[in-house]
Structure 1
Amino acid sequence: MACQRPRDIPARADTLGETLYSLRLNGAVYANSELTAPWGIEMPPMGGMMMFHILTEGGCWLRFNNNENLYLQPGELALIPKGEGHCIAHQEDQPCVPFFDIPVTKLSERLEYMRYGGEGENGAGEETRLICGVLSFDHIAGQKLVSQLPQIIHIQCDQADRPHPLQSMIELMEQEAASMAPGGETVMAHLADIIVIHAIRYWIEHAPDKSRGWLCALKDPKLGKALAAIHAQPEAHWTVERLAEQAGMSRSGFSARFTEVIGTSVKHYLTDWRMNLARMKILQSPVTLTELAQDLGYQSEAAFSRAYKRVFGVPPLRQKHDAT
């Protein structure tokens, strides 16, 4: 490792907030849907993506393969953090048609309009309006955070502690989708980012406290400081002793506590974090092995390549070739 000593890291009051900020969501597509009963849509699995549904009119059911179903009412949000496949329909037992088999009108590069349904034995029925979106996240912090989230986050209208800013953002999203004014796509993209962050934060604040896991470590006043140091300076010459100093703990106490809560050793976590950062850079932009090694604190390309292969099973040049 390069002998670059860590700089002093200022105390962070909100390590979890820093992680939420690092999500860096990218909107893949947004759909404004007008649906007439009977209707049912099967959403395919989308690994590495988040999906959300905001109901603006009518009502609908969300069905998952594990039989966990929920009903959405106007003004409510359903966030599917891990991109799990599901059905969304006007009735709980309604047959569903694959999403990509349903015609849509492409309004712009990332905005679609869908009008579907109304072809049942009893003719057209209740109208339902939905705003749906698919978002990607391109940072290792986002990947780790999403892995800790539940199958679905449901923000209901009748929740007394529903955050007022979240409610306001949902209402504004509804207005933008209805008006389709100039610049509406950009406004909706930024609103979607804010809504998703608020929904995740709401779940974190109300989830049962756990004694183990990455989120627990982020919220821990001592371990959180060490994680913040690693995340802020992945290239620094971190040792267990220096990270223990950041946490304000003894070396042995810190090492044992870190492994107990996160489930892996300090050294393994540091290497895994660096290699995932490297993989992200390889996939996102042209970069050389020399640059990667320097950016992540390795003295040589060979040392970096060995560490990368230990984590991913292939050398970085192979990963880079496969990504192009």
Structure 2
Amino acid sequence: MGTLHDPASQSLAAASVLAPSPGRPPEEVVADAAPSATPDKDVLSDVLRVIKLTGALFFWVDASSPWSVEVPRADSFAHLILPRAQHVISYHIITQGSGSVSIDEGSPMEFAEGDILVIPHEDSYAMCSASGVRSGLSPEDSLDFFRAMAAGQLPFVVNEGGDGPLLTRYVCGFLGCDARPFNPLLGALPPLIRIRRAAGAPSDLLDRLIELTLAEVSVQRPGAECIRLRLSELMFVEVVRRYLEALPPEQTGWLAGLRDPAVGRAVALVHENPARGWTIEELARETGVSRSVLAARFTRLVGCPPMQYLTRWRVQLAARLLTDGLAKVSAVGRDVGYESEAAFSRSFKKLAGVSPAGWRDGRRG
């Protein structure tokens, strides 16, 4: 594991990324926060709205040594905690103690007080107090736990581990969202994110959100669960913002593209008016660079050409409209920029794998 360096910012120490290949040691990504582009459209908020980010489960864990928690793939328990979610994201905020986390039995990554861990791709993972410690619980035991927690049969504070001194406390959160037809945020996130917060740093937004959550736990007023879930959504958004700020200059991906002046502006224009008949020439003119420069830079950072991104985002918008509304397929197609129902249906089926009507029937079913 690489050596961590002191950052310039007090509120954020670094972001760590666990490489996806099995057995590969964790990589440390350490960088000062880079300035973000300031497009007219808040693209991150737009994406979070359309992919329907929803709090699913949120609780507190007090773990005494020796302790270990093994969590199966999220798609095995998603139907228990959020039945209508296409995808479940797991995250943990370490408020006290330390330990290690590994994805799919891969190389472990150490974590400490103040760290934030995010598992965005539904992978199985294990958290423990020390290497080699295992709980001995089966995947079915984990499913029983999630079933009971979702049913309100367990307390908000869960005790784990052995008879040793209290070693670690952490917030455990699960969020639902859409992954299909197109979720640019998920595609930009690695299998494991660790965001490090400097010890002794002044209280920040994340600290205040945690304090509000704990206050709701202590008073147990009506509606507390709803407030905790909304607060968990806010905490996740703040984590994504910190990850974005910590990306190194050479990083590629959708989030990195938002920071680039030209690419970020082009993405914002697409999100601001997705139904407009954009061409690469128009986007290049609006962003102040040549067509070739925009195409090359957009493809390198985002992973696809600008016009392909526009098509994918239109289909994602259409999927949301088809799921939530009653408009005819032809009307939905026009709303996202297609002049004919046939053209819309071809684009939608190519990306989503089913026709617009089939998507609507499947989601409502």
The bucket for the TM-score relative to the shorter chain is 0.7 to 0.9
Amino-acid identity (%): 30
Aligned residue for 2:61, secondary structure, equals strand
Secondary structure of the 1:27 match is: strand
The residue type equivalent to 1:297 in the other structure is G
Partner of 1:82: 121
For 2:358, give the aligned amino acid: R
Q: Retained in 1: the 8 A contact 2:90–2:173? A: yes
Cα distance change of structure 1 residues 125 and 180 upon mapping to structure 2, 3 Å threshold: farther
Residues 1:95 and 2:95 are matched in the alignment: no
Q: Is the 8 A contact 1:35 1:117 kept in 2?
A: yes
Aligned residue for 1:50? 89
Report how far residue 295 of structure 1 moved. Answer: 0.9
Greater CA drift, 169-178 or 104-113: 104-113
CA distance in structure 1 between the aligned counterparts of 2:219 and 2:115, rounded to whole angstroms: 20
Instruction: Within 5 Å, give how 1:297-316 maps onto structure 2.
Output: 297-316=337-356
2:174 matched residue in structure 1: 134
**Does the 8 A contact of 1:22 with 1:142 survive in 2?**
no
Q: CA deviation at 1:19?
A: 1.1
Q: Alignment partner for residue 308 of structure 2, among 237, 243, 268? A: 268
Aligned to 2:260, which of 212, 216, 220?
220
**Pair member with larger Rg:** 1
- The alpha carbon displacement at 1:58 in A equals 5.0
Aligned to 2:320: 280
Q: Distance in 2 between matches of 1:313 and 1:106?
A: 34
CA distance in 2, matches of 1:215, 1:241: 23
* Number of equivalenced pairs: 308
Letter in 2 for 1:44: P
Match of 1:26? 54
Distance 1:16 1:78, change over 3 A: farther
Return the letter of the residue paired with 1:29: L
Cα distance, 1:314–1:134 mapped onto 2, change above 3 Å: same
Change (3 A) 1:66 1:178: farther
Q: Deviations over 1:173-193 (max 9, x none)?
A: 334334434443233223222
Deviations along 1:90-149, one digit per CA (max 9) or x if unpaired, are 33322232322448765876985364545x6xxx23335433111123488993123222
- Unpaired runs of 5+ residues, structure 1, are 1-11
Q: TM-score, normalised by structure 1?
A: 0.79
1:154 equivalent in alignment to 2:190 = no
Runs of 4+ displaced beyond 6 Å: 107-111, 139-142, 160-163
* 2:274 counterpart of 1:246: no
Contact 2:41 2:271 in 1 (8 A): no
Q: Is 1:41 paired with 2:69?
A: yes
Name the aligned partner's letter for residue 26 of structure 1. T
Q: Partners in 2 of 1:195 and 1:32 — Cα distance?
A: 14
User: What is the distance in 2 between the residues matched to 1:290 and 1:110?
Assistant: 46
**Residue number in structure 2 paired with 1:3:** none
Q: 2:101 aligns with which of 48, 58, 62?
A: 62
Paired letter, 1:113: F
Q: Partners in 1 of 2:209 and 2:357 — Cα distance? A: 44
Match of 1:195 among 209, 214, 235: 235
Q: Deviations over 1:282-302 (max 9, x none)?
A: 344444212221111112211
Normalising to structure 2: TM-score of the pair? 0.71
* 1:17 CA displacement: 4.6
How many Å separate the matches in 1 of 2:129 and 2:314?
46
User: Quick one: which amino acid aligns to residue 143 of structure 2?
Assistant: F
My pick for the range that moved more, 141-150 or 78-87, is 141-150
